[in-house]
Amino acid sequence: MILWLTLLFPLASAILLLAFRNARAAARTALVAGAAEVVLLGSCAWKLHVYGVLAQGRYLRADGLTLFFLINLGLIFTVVLVYSTGYLRHVPGGRFSSPRWYYALLFLFLFTLLAAYLSSNLGVLWIAIEATTLASALLVGFYNTEGAVEAGWKYLIMCTVGIAFALFGTIALYLAAVRAGVPTSAALDWTVLMAASPGLNAAGALLKLAFVFVIVGYGTKIGFVPMHSWLPDAHADAPAPISAMLSAVLLNCAMYALLRMEAITSHAIGTGFSHALLLAFGGLSLIAAVFLMIVQRDLKRLLAYSSIEHMGIVALGVGIGGPLGLSGALLHAFNHSLAKTLLFFTTGKVRDTFGTLRIDRIRGMASVLPYTSAILIVGGVALAGLPPFGLFISEFTILISAFAGSHYVLAVLMLVAFSIGFGALFFHLQRMLSGEPHASRGGIKILASEAGAMCVCGVCLLVLGLYIPPAFTSMLHNAMAVLQ
């Protein structure tokens, strides 16, 4: 019951929100609905904590891995919603670009993400992941400018084609399962497939084919190089809170889908094949992204490439495997989402003040926007993987696992890439922070809602860097136990 309620409540809220033409009323209703959804998610998490696994009907199921990603989603969605209420003061005109559409689409986006996390069936999972693209496309194109329309178009076309490959992979897996004697009605059920995976060994070639299509398909949504080209455009031209949602939640959601598929593949035919592919895509994304970060001229595009970099690191962690690699990867996905949300929130302020996000046109930010600059530096330090923030711990864990697994070349490659990424990030940041401002601009005050949202992200990052609570550790272990 609780699963259905948690899933359908955002959908109902989205429909309800469309009735509010007044911007203030829409924002207030969205906050109330968001609070209610957080309560639902909390009780869902509590029940999961007590019972371990929740299942409802044939299509809904939640386990330890779901819980981990649900907490991530709930946290980021809450801060994004709170930040949005302050951010959405000046909206462009036009159809689908009003506050009520913004909030309605945001809740619809939440609904599709929840559907992906709570589905027990790989077919439903695919439908939900495709629906995330559909729900967020209009949000990406929200500003209706040339760039936003182009980014929205590219996002919709590229992700739909990419995801079509994942459908092909899912069909191939289904074929393998049906041929191995799994009844057709259950042949897409994840738990059934996990239980039957040793028997799928005979159809090894088909499973490999399936996994190649799935990694290309879901990899398009994760932003793996070379299928990444939609990602910087969509992140750069979406409103700041939506960029945060894309980078922090959507990429993780696609990664979650890939993790589920990977678990079945590696159980059936051994970890060799899937891990090699993950290492290849992860390594390529990491290397390409850090070099592309150097030449960026737009702050949000810089952050978008950094998302590709970090998703590459997560893929490397999963690909190295073992308890250490996997725990590092999951922790990294969590930490990255917090750091990236924090940074995208600051870009909203920068654009409000300077009217642009072009790095070469922003000078003297430290004197115009002292608080925002401080947050930008904190976020930058966290993102670069320096202590005392969470990303240091997770990157370090993945590095240790690389050394422990005797992947020396990979470990050295990662260290080099980390330093290039760090250099690129701070090269651009110091250019914006230092110098004299072009004109005497008044800094825009940070609203209480924005400050609160950023504080939550910062504090969580700091806590995960200094002392990981035992409850979090046990949650992480439960998540890993599902996959192993």
Contacts with another protein by CB under 8 A lie at 59, 96, 121, 123-124, 126-127, 130-131, 134, 137-138, 141, 144-147, 149-154, 156-157, 160-161, 164, 167-168, 171-172, 174-175, 178-179, 184-185, 188, 205-206, 209, 232-233, 236-237, 292, 295-296, 301
Instruction: DSSP letter for 141, please.
Output: T
Element holding 107 (H helix, E strand):
helix 99-118
Query: Smallest gap, in angstroms, from Cβ of residue 203 to another protein?
Result: 9
d(Cα 115, Cα 456) in Å, to the nearest integer?
Answer: 26
Query: Smallest gap, in angstroms, from Cβ of residue 189 to another protein?
Result: 10
Residue 69 or 126: which CB sits closer to another protein?
126
Query: Smallest gap, in angstroms, from Cβ of residue 146 to another protein?
Result: 5
d(Cα 383, Cα 390) in Å, to the nearest integer?
Answer: 9
Query: Smallest gap, in angstroms, from Cβ of residue 184 to another protein?
Result: 7
Residue 41 or 122: which CB sits closer to another protein?
122
Residue type, 273: F
Q: Which of 42, 93, 76, 101 is nearest to 344 (CA)?
A: 76
Query: Smallest gap, in angstroms, from Cβ of residue 202 to another protein?
Result: 11
Query: Smallest gap, in angstroms, from Cβ of residue 382 to another protein?
Result: 26
Q: Which pair of structure tokens corresponds to residue 70?
A: 């649900």
Q: Which pair of structure tokens corresponds to residue 322?
A: 């073992």
d(Cα 417, Cα 429) in Å, to the nearest integer?
Answer: 18
423 CB-contact burial (10 Å; exposed 0-12 / middle 13-18 / buried 19+): middle
Residue 216 or 342: which CB sits closer to another protein?
216
Residue 204 or 405: which CB sits closer to another protein?
204
Q: Which pair of structure tokens corresponds to residue 425?
A: 């990030």
Q: Which of 154, 163, 280 is nearest to 219 (CA)?
A: 163
Query: Smallest gap, in angstroms, from Cβ of residue 358 to another protein?
Result: 13
Residue 123 or 405: which CB sits closer to another protein?
123
Residue 38: which residues within 8 A CB-CB, separation 6 or more?
Answer: 74, 78
CB 227 within 8 A of CB 219: yes
Element holding 56 (H helix, E strand):
strand 54-56
Query: Smallest gap, in angstroms, from Cβ of residue 269 to another protein?
Result: 16
Residue 210 or 263: which CB sits closer to another protein?
210
Residue 61 or 349: which CB sits closer to another protein?
61
End-to-end CA distance of the chain: 28
d(Cα 32, Cα 23) in Å, to the nearest integer?
Answer: 14
Instruction: DSSP letter for 200, please.
Output: G
Residue 292 or 368: which CB sits closer to another protein?
292
Phi/psi at 121 (5° precision):
-115, 135
Q: Which of 252, 414, 394 is nearest to 324 (CA)?
A: 394
CB 296 within 8 A of CB 427: no
Residue 124 or 253: which CB sits closer to another protein?
124
d(Cα 446, Cα 389) in Å, to the nearest integer?
Answer: 23
Residue 141 or 312: which CB sits closer to another protein?
141
**Crossing angle for the helix pair 322-354 and 370-383, to the nearest 10 degrees:** 160
Residue 72 or 121: which CB sits closer to another protein?
121
Query: Smallest gap, in angstroms, from Cβ of residue 143 to another protein?
Result: 11
Query: Smallest gap, in angstroms, from Cβ of residue 195 to another protein?
Result: 18
Query: Smallest gap, in angstroms, from Cβ of residue 233 to another protein?
Result: 4
